[in-house]
Amino acid sequence: MKQQRLFFLLFSLIYQFVIAQNKGIHTSLTLTEDLTSNFKGGLQQASGHLGNIDLIVAGNLGPGEWFVYGLYNYGAPSSAWVGDLQVTNNIEALSKLRLYQFWYRRSWNTLSLTIGQHDLNSVFAITDNGSTFINSSFGIQPDLSTNAPFPIFPVASPGIVLEWELNHALKFSTALYDGDPGSESDNPHSIDFYLGARDGLLHISELQYQTNAKQLKGVYKLGYWKSSASPSRPSVYGLYGILDQQLYQHPRQPNRTLGAFMQWGTASPSAPVLANYYSIGLVFTGLLAPQKPDVLGIAYAQAQTSPSYQREVSGSTTEGVLEIHYTYPFNDRLAIKPNLQWVYTPGAMEAIPNALIGVVRMVYTIF
């Protein structure tokens, strides 16, 4: 695995400095390293390391733009120690090299159309404030990710995405994806996909409203999704809502702000894992370093298991997680993020003790 990691980094550096700079191609390479410990509760007390390398290559082609995203993940998933449903770390994945996304986008004034292998969560069900947290549920809410094979990290799928800016405040997005991108083990490098009736389809639509009342930015989203039936699963659908609202901005230091976010979701009675989900959180920026804003966040999320899951897993109820993190950017390239999470009834099982997890994350942008 170390040899693969070094090869991926070396290839990325050679591409950036020998090829990309001479062809007007935009590239970025980011290294994320996590030291993780389960201090108490869960399935076992343990410590380990997780890593993620992101290579993005993009450019213009004719009237549109192309985008390629490679991933390399390594290390030990901490959720195996915790036994939770919501996944304590948003870079958990099998140790593999992946061609994660590759797509082409064409835009016409207020419309854009994207075709290719695409991460649904790069357009839909996003909360800007929630994305600062490490627990996966604040990024892609689990009432979506656990109930159907969504094309999200670390395995995307072919799809077509339409985005339409109705006016300065309203935006409508809709997409159709192949209904089953495969699991990490079935599709380890994200290049093995099958387009056919046996996979079904995944449809998602989202309406977004943006406001700037009293110079405080707010974004409100309402979405609907449906995963069609296939030989291996029933049809499932759901609704979700997201709120991102800036509550305060310092009059002389605009980087010093306070924001809030909420997520809400509910799934149909046929949902295999979760019936309902909600979260709420606060994010403070520029507390100690307004020139290069640091970030302090605190959030709580709770997920309730579905009737079908409760029938299969006796005694399952709800799972909650409380997370607090602090991010300090040393410069434009390097940031460190210490993080604590308290998971209530991991796996929605009262028999599993509440767990205390600590993470120290380092993010380094190489170029």
- pLDDT value, residue 149: 93
Residue pLDDT, tens place only, 212-239: 988 999 999 999 999 997 777 889 999 9
pLDDT in tens, 72-84: 999 988 888 999 9
DSSP per-residue letters across 142-206: HHHHTTS--SBTTB-EEEEEEEEE-SSSEEEEEEEEES----TTTSTTS-----SGGG-EEEEEE
pLDDT at 14: 56
For residues 28-52, average pLDDT: 96
- Is a pLDDT exceeding 60 seen at residue 15? no
| Coil, helix or strand at residue 23 | helix
- Report the candidate in 308, 326, 323 with the shortest Cα–Cα distance to residue 82: 323
Task: Please say whether the beta carbons of 263 and 290 come within 8 A.
Answer: no
Q: What is the CATH number of the domain that holds 115?
A: 2.40.160.180
Q: What tens digit of pLDDT does each residue of 237-269 get?
A: 999 999 999 999 999 899 999 999 999 999 999
Tokens standing for residue 195: 């387009």
Query: What is the percent of the chain with per-residue pLDDT over 70, rounded to a whole number?
Result: 92
Integer angstrom CA distances of residue 68 from 61, 159, 200, 247, 358: 13, 15, 25, 36, 33
Give 286-337 pLDDT, tens digit per residue.
Answer: 988 778 889 999 999 999 999 999 999 988 999 999 999 999 999 999 999 9
**Number of Cα atoms under 13 Å in the Cβ half of residue 27:** 21
Q: Nearest CA to 327 among 317, 316, 338?
A: 338
> Would you say residue 3 has pLDDT above 80?
no
Answer for the pair 53, 5: CB distance below 8 angstroms, yes or no.
Answer: yes
Positive or negative torsion for Cα 281, 282, 285, 287: negative
- pLDDT confidence band for 2 (50 / 70 / 90): low
Per residue in 156-202, pLDDT (tens digit) is: 999 999 999 999 999 999 999 998 888 888 888 888 766 666 788 99
> Has residue 25 got a pLDDT over 70?
yes
Question: Could you read off the pLDDT of 87-143 as tens digits, one per residue?
Answer: 999 999 999 999 999 999 999 999 999 999 999 999 999 999 999 999 999 999 999
Segments forming the whole domain that contains residue 150: 2-365
Q: Which of residues 65 and 23 earns the better pLDDT score?
A: 65
- 344 vs 137: CA distance, rounded Å: 14
The confidence band for 4, taking pLDDT boundaries of 50, 70 and 90, is low
CA distance 158 to 64: 18
Backbone φ and ψ for 118, nearest 5 degrees, come out as -140, 145
State how many domains the chain has: 1
CA angle in degrees (0–180, nearest 5) for 249-255-257: 35
- Mean pLDDT, all residues of the chain: 92
